[in-house]
């Protein structure tokens, strides 16, 4: 099974989701989105495949999110493209779907 994980190696939830994929024998593409940020268009497409709005995928606890409390989706998406730390993690994608793997055990829904 092919899987793509939008991964932050410093995040314990992301590492746990990656471990579940590895244990399941998935052929994994790891995208370290902080090192290789998604374009606004690619991020919008990823969120659409996950049936998420930008607000659904926003890490509200990040400092950069403070100005986005009343922002519309377009502004949040712009901010996420400019500051990828704002993207909730990990996002996992397989042929069975796309989701935010929080808690990491949600990855099993895609296996």
Q: Of residues 4, 11, 100, 103, which has the active-site annotation? A: 11
Question: Cα(29)–Cα(54) distance, rounded to whole angstroms?
Answer: 23
- Is 11 in the active site? yes
- Residues 77 and 43 sit within 8 Å (Cβ to Cβ): yes
Residues 6+ apart with CB under 8 A from 74: none
Phi, psi of 72 (to 5 degrees): -85, 170
Active site residues: 11
């Amino acid at each position: 099974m092919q899987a793509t994980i939008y991964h932050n190696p410093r995040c314990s939830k992301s590492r746990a989701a990656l471990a579940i994929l590895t244990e399941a024998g998935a052929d994994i593409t790891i995208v370290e989105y902080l090192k290789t940020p998604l374009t606004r268009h690619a991020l919008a497409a990823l969120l659409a495949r996950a049936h998420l709005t930008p607000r659904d995928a926003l890490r509200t606890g990040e400092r950069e999110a403070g100005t986005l409390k009343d922002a519309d989706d377009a502004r949040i998406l712009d901010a996420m493209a400019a500051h990828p730390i704002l993207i909730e993690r990990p996002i996992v994608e397989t042929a069975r779907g796309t989701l935010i793997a929080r808690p990491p055990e949600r990855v099993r829904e895609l296996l």
